[in-house]
Structure 1
Amino acid sequence: MDIRQLEYFLAIVDSGGFSRAATALYVSQPSLSQAVRALEHDLGSELFHRIGRRAVLTDAGRALIEPARAAVRSLETARASVDSVQELRTGRLDIASMPSQAVEPLTALVRDFSHLHPGVVVAVKAVFTSREVVDAVRTGAVELGLLACAGPLPEKEVSTLALGQQRFVLLVPPDDLLARRQSLECEELSGRRLIVGQPGTGMRAYVDSLHEQGVAFEVATEIEHRVALLPLVLAGVGLAVVTESWRNLAHRAGARVLDIEPATVLNVGLVSRRGPLTPAASAFLATARAEASSR
């Protein structure tokens, strides 16, 4: 067994098949298949069921995912530690982020980090719940994760750096009657059409809690692609409850932003796996600590 075989195995898992993995790795499919067969021979167990063009994980394959990610990540850490003598001139940092936190504070953090280390590529993976962020960090799929949650930040499975809080606000188009106001009571959302996120997200949990309290709004659109959120608001499809990380972007796009009273907040944090980190991840954490302490 060698690390290349594990990297090939994970590429098939992440890509969903041999053909797409071969394309992503810039290797021929026969070479990829041969490497996986060699890995299966070393382990004494099949890792995939080959069903036509599909590759379905066996129980053994599922059991291998987490240790394989840990092994690959450990090698990356070792390589990056050697590269650190080059003062982070090159490299890659993988981060998972929930959508609203990818607007802020991620934008400011990546800006400051990239100013100090322009040769390091920051790759951001989109996830939608705090649980998904923790799992991505814990299993080694990424090194760092940016999340927000209504309760305490997670600390059992990962290390956590608190970055502050974000309150919920309302986005409205400029021609709406509410656009003249600075704030509104949450009860005033009754009868309004809202654009909501998919179940499991912080945005959806908040509006669902309003509904449980008797705020009888209508769901205009349930959306997973947050990039369409502002265009939908500006097109008059509905109003959107988001975190205040959207405030500056919404203003620049022409939408109006109202505070929702009483204020309800999410706790925002940057999580990392326990144990040694690559120099790039350590440097990014240092950037985040400086940002948090300056507030």
Structure 2
Amino acid sequence: MDIRHLEYFLAIVDHGGFNRAASALYVSQPSLSQAVRALERDLGTDLFHRIGRRATLTEAGKALIDPAREAVRSLQTARSSVEAVHELREGRLDVACMPSQAVEPLTTLVCAFSRRHPGVTVAIRAAFTSREVIDMVRTGAVELGLLASAGPVSDKEVASCELGRQRFVLMVPPDSPLAGRAAVGCEELAGQRLIVGQRGTGMRAYVDALREQGIDFTVAVETEHRVALLPLVLGGVGAAVVTESWRDIARQAGVHVMDIEPETTLDIALVNRRGTVSPAAAAFVRIAARTNT
């Protein structure tokens, strides 16, 4: 079985069709189709239902996705191991990260890693929940994942490096009556207009828990795009409950940030699949462990 055929198969899955995959791979569609047919002959089964120009996965095709990712990732690990002889002068490291942790500690970790290994490209993939991060790491879509969770990460699916905790804080516009204070009680969020994240995120779970406690507020905006938080707060749309990873950048933008009492935190962790990882991933984990000490 040709590993290139598996890479082509995954490209079709990830890009949603033969045409897009061929464009992404810079190969002709006939060459891509021929490679997939060769893979199907090797496996003795069809991987796609071909209906006109459309192609949908067969049950066999769906079953191949995870093993194919593992095989491709294993080959990439082998290649990276060879590159380690050259002191990681080149290569690529795929990292999945939740939005708030992409502000910090990911920025600090990538800066430290890039200073030591400037030839290695760090590719950051977005994931909105800790479950998404773990699944991307577990299936081999990425090598490392940075996440926040309400409690330590279970060691059943992935290995983890604990990176401390982040508390929840409140961002308010500079003209807010709350501006200028160092802290605010969670009960004072009653009556506030809040900008919140989508369900399944830590920040959304926190504000939903406040509402269950009888603290009544108005959801002004619900957004998946964390980059919109600062402009929305600055625009006076409402206040936003976020983790303290936002503190420095928010203050630089002119937003006032205060602690929310009583203190509530999320656990931050860097996770990877159990077993051998690439030299780049191992170097990144070592840097994260040193940064946390």
TM-score after normalising by structure 2: 0.98
Instruction: Confirm whether residue 113 of structure 1 aligns to residue 113 of structure 2.
Output: yes
SS at match of 1:176: coil
- Taking the TM superposition and a 5 Å limit, the aligned residue runs for 1:1-295 are 1-293=1-293
Distance 1:237 1:7, change over 3 A: same
Percent sequence identity is 71
SS in 1 for 2:178: helix
Aligned-pair CA distance for 1:20: 1.2
Shift of 1:54: 3.7
Give the C-alpha shift of residue 34 in structure 1: 1.2
**1:29 alignment partner AA:** Q
- The residue type paired with residue 210 of structure 1 is L
* Deviation of 1:154 (Å): 2.5
Secondary structure of the residue that 2:231 maps to in structure 1? helix
Uncovered stretches (5+) of structure 1, i.e. residues with no partner: none
Q: Which whole-Å deviations, capped at 9, do the CAs of 1:4-31 have from their partners, x for residues lacking one?
A: 0000011111111111111111111111
SS in structure 2 of the partner of residue 198 of structure 1: coil
Task: Name whichever of 173-182 and 101-110 sits farther off.
Answer: 173-182
Match for 1:99: what amino acid? Answer: P
CA contact (8 A) 1:17 1:53 kept: no
Does the CA contact (< 8 Å) of 1:183 and 1:258 recur in 2? yes
Q: Alpha carbons of 1:51 and 1:177: their partners in 2 closer, same or farther (altered >3 Å)?
A: farther
Identify which range, 282-291 or 22-31, moves more after superposition: 22-31
CA distance in 1 between partners of 2:228 and 2:50 (Å): 38
| 1:226-274 CA-partner distances (Å, limit 9, x unpaired) | 1111111101111100000000110111101010000000000000111
Amino acid at match of 1:71: A
Partners in 2 of 1:69 and 1:37 — Cα distance? 19
Unaligned runs of 5+ residues in structure 2 are none
Q: Report Cα offsets for 1:62-115 as digits up to 9, x if no partner.
A: 111111011001101111111111000000000000111111000000000000
Give the SS at the match of 2:275.
coil
Shift of 1:46: 1.6
SS at match of 2:83: helix
- Measured at CA, do residues 226 and 82 of structure 1 come closer, stay the same or move farther in structure 2, by a change above 3 Å? same
d(CA) in 2 for partners of 1:82, 1:111: 24
- The letter of the residue matching 1:191 is G
Number of aligned pairs? 293
Q: Deviations over 1:196-228 (max 9, x none)?
A: 101111111111111111110111111001111
Residues 115-144 of structure 1 deviation map (CA, whole Å, 9 limit, x = unaligned): 000000000000011111111111110000
Amino acid at match of 1:202: G
Q: What is the rounded CA distance, in whole Å, between the counterparts of 1:213 and 1:241 in structure 2?
A: 16
96-105 or 31-40, larger mean C-alpha shift: 31-40
TM-score w.r.t. length of structure 1: 0.97
Cα distance in structure 2, aligned partners of 1:51 and 1:260: 56
How far did residue 40 of structure 1 move?
1.3
Deviation at 1:53, TM superposition (A): 4.1
Q: Distance in 2 between matches of 1:261 and 1:181?
A: 12
Q: Amino acid of the residue matched to residue 160 of structure 1?
A: S
Tell me, in whole angstroms, the C-alpha distance in 2 between the residues paired with 1:254 and 1:276.
45
Q: Runs of 4 or more off by more than 6 Å in structure 1?
A: none
What value does the CA root-mean-square deviation take over the aligned residues? 0.9
In 2, Cα distance between equivalents of 1:202 and 1:50: 41
Q: Distance in 1 between the 2:151 and 2:10 partners?
A: 33
| Aligned partner of residue 180 in structure 1, secondary structure | coil
